Amino acid sequence: MCTPTIALAAVAGVGTAAADRSAKMSQWRAQVAAVNRSNAMAKTKYLNDIQISEYKDKQKFNVFEAQLEAQARARENLQKLLEINQQEATRASVSNQLKLNEKVQEAQFEGQQKLAASIQAQGTVLASGMQAGQSMMLQLQDVERQLGFEQAAIDASLFNANQSFGMSEYGTRLSQYAADARAINSLPGGPLFSPEAEFQTIKPLKQSTPDKPSMLGSIMTGAIAGVTVGSGIGHASGTDTPWWRL
């Protein structure tokens, strides 16, 4: 039959084992919950980081696409502006050429008139009945000299007209060059490089849950506690009888 001491030792051992087991299981559950919570938070952060990277990549692409479209429109507008500048330069050049042609025609007409007047003047001298001699020769030379002066004035007028035409042409081309340069310099700069993707989100390593504590440890703890209680009772009895027989 079971002695009272053994009964007390057994009760102490079972109680200690149960308490140890309960404490270890509580600690294990807390550790498992902490690991699961940490894994869940890491997974949530990983998914959020992926969405943020995708959003940033999309924004970069949209900005890049908008810059390309703006650059294309700017180049189209530049080409149109250069064409307008060319048309304006052509118009001004044609106007200058018309003015020069008008001056040339006026000079030619005036030259013909002067030549006709000179011929008429020579005819008048010859028909005047003046005897041929030095006086007639002088008068004829004077008519020719006068025609030469008038023709030189016409030629000088043509020379000035050509100079004026050249300067006008130079000014027209210079204005076109300046307008083209301003248009080209106002062209906005486009993107130099295509956008780079965000760094790949690193997938977190899943933490393993701790192993469930073994029953053997709690049983050993309870056994040690039971032996300790029984031994304590035996020493307290003051006899030489083994404690498990008391």
Whether 216 maps to a domain, the answer reads no
Question: What pLDDT shows up at residue 243?
Answer: 47
Dist CA 181 CA 162 (whole Å): 28
Q: Report how many domains make up the chain.
A: 1
Whether 34 maps to a domain, the answer reads yes
pLDDT in tens, 24-48: 778 888 888 888 898 899 889 988 9
Question: What pLDDT shows up at residue 207?
Answer: 79
In 3D, which of 36, 168, 167 has the Cα closest to residue 93? 168
In 3D, which of 165, 170, 216, 214 has the Cα closest to residue 25? 214
The percent helix, strand, coil of the chain (3-state, each to 5) is: 80, 0, 20
Let me know if 5 is exposed, middle or buried by CB neighbors in 10 A (0-12, 13-18, 19+): buried
Whether 201 maps to a domain, the answer reads no
What the block records as the tokens of 130 is 């003046």
- pLDDT band of residue 212 (cuts 50, 70, 90) is confident
Whether 239 maps to a domain, the answer reads no
pLDDT in tens, 148-197: 667 777 777 788 888 888 888 888 889 989 999 988 888 887 777 777 77
Whether 232 maps to a domain, the answer reads no
> What mean pLDDT, rounded, does the chain reach?
75
Whether 202 maps to a domain, the answer reads no
Whether 204 maps to a domain, the answer reads no
What the block records as the tokens of 148 is 């030469």
Q: Which residue has the higher pLDDT, 210 or 98?
A: 98
pLDDT in tens, 58-78: 888 888 888 888 888 888 999
Domain limits at 30?
A: 4-188
Dist CA 45 CA 220 (whole Å): 43
Whether 145 maps to a domain, the answer reads yes
Reply yes or no on whether the pLDDT at 245 is more than 50: no
Cβ(182)–Cβ(82) below 8 Å: no
